[in-house]
Amino acid sequence: MTTKNLSLAQKLKISCFSRGISLTTNAIDHLTCGGRIPLSIHEYATTGGVTMIVDNEIYVNAPLDEWFCTSPEAILDADERSGDFIVRFRNETFPARTIKLPFYLNEKDSKGRLVSDTVMSHADRARISPILGCSFGCEFCDYIGKKYIRRPLDQILEGVGIAIKDTNLPAKHVMISGGTPSPRDQGYIEEVYEQVIRQINLPVDVMFMPRSVGIIERLVGWGVYGFSINLEVYNTDYAQKIVPQKYRLGRKLFTTCIEEALARTGGNGRVRSLLLVGIEPVEETLKGVEFLASIGCDPVLSPFRPAKGTPLQTLRPPSSDILEKVYLECLDITERYGVKLGPRCIPCQHNTLTFPDRSGYYFS
């Protein structure tokens, strides 16, 4: 068992995941430029809060207006004149920097289409969503029930081109994710992968469901940087109910794809798999972390955050005590197998149970 202790700044991030954050009127005024821009954008369940950097290196997306944010321990404040932000937490004060929303939120491309329909920036990454909706029906995801729409390739390329040049929140790398395409759209999504990787002069990661025929080899050939092949729920009984389509793919296929991606990239944080914390028993999540670590994959811990309109919308997020326990026990597991809790990119840790450790294996 680990003898490591969490710093108060780390506990602050964990508390925000569990209980949210409250904002003073000064903080709201400075974040919204006096009400001229939105305070936050609820375009995805785990990015709908305010994103900030606490204690110079800890990135956190803190929910602020969800139903479970009834008794936050953390308070974000701003100096009325200078606009400098601080966070008050358990009788301590931490300097904070907030990450503003991109300027392109209401910008349209050359054909009058909203840029934010296909791309959204978080911290230093632009996330591309080629498909609205999803062919899967995972019970935690707010894509469930949305109309399935395939975005044109030219819209995607123009949108991400605008996003990466944004002067308020420029992107340093790109993630292609969004909903899982139906089998009939596999050719379309592969064309998106290839053209974005080849045409965008930034590192590109791809988040996708495992497939059995050559997709890893093709992506590496096109120049993909990294893979996110997300297991999400480890226990088979819970997976069968919560992520039924992923359950039917089978653990063997996930293992095969992850191992091939590791072999073709060399690992070192370029292949990761996300597990949700707070949906299945802690012991099962820890088994999932051990499984991923044992094959050389970086596990990513995503604290569950209930999304409106989903079957799990009334399930409370995991407590701070649970999140602290999971994090510390996972450190032991990952150290034993020589991997890291992902993501390795420090700004991308804003909505994950991860902290930079100054080892040189994390970067920004």
Residue 1 has pLDDT above 70, yes or no: no
CA dist., res. 132 & res. 130, Å (int): 7
Q: What is the pLDDT of residue 44?
A: 82
- Mapped onto helix, strand or coil, the DSSP state of residue 12 is helix
CA atoms within 13 A on the CB side of 338: 4
Q: What is the pLDDT of residue 3?
A: 61
CA dist., res. 121 & res. 139, Å (int): 25
Q: What is the pLDDT of residue 258?
A: 97
Q: What is the pLDDT of residue 33?
A: 84
Q: What is the pLDDT of residue 43?
A: 84
pLDDT in tens, 67-77: 999 999 999 99
Least confident of 88-92, 296-300, 322-326, 358-362: 358-362
CA dist., res. 219 & res. 298, Å (int): 19
Q: What is the pLDDT of residue 45?
A: 83
Residue 290 has pLDDT above 80, yes or no: yes
First to last CA, the chain: 30
Full set of structural domains in the chain with CATH: 8-98 (no CATH), 104-200 (no CATH), 209-364 (3.20.20.70)
Q: What is the pLDDT of residue 282?
A: 98
**Which of 158, 157, 174, 161 is CA-nearest to residue 121?**
174
Average pLDDT over residues 32-51: 88
Q: What is the pLDDT of residue 2?
A: 56
Average pLDDT over residues 231-240: 98
CA dist., res. 356 & res. 268, Å (int): 15
pLDDT in tens, 136-180: 999 999 888 889 999 999 999 999 999 999 999 999 999 999 889
- Identify the sign of the CA torsion 14, 225, 331, 294: positive
pLDDT in tens, 323-363: 999 999 999 999 999 999 999 999 999 999 999 998 889 99
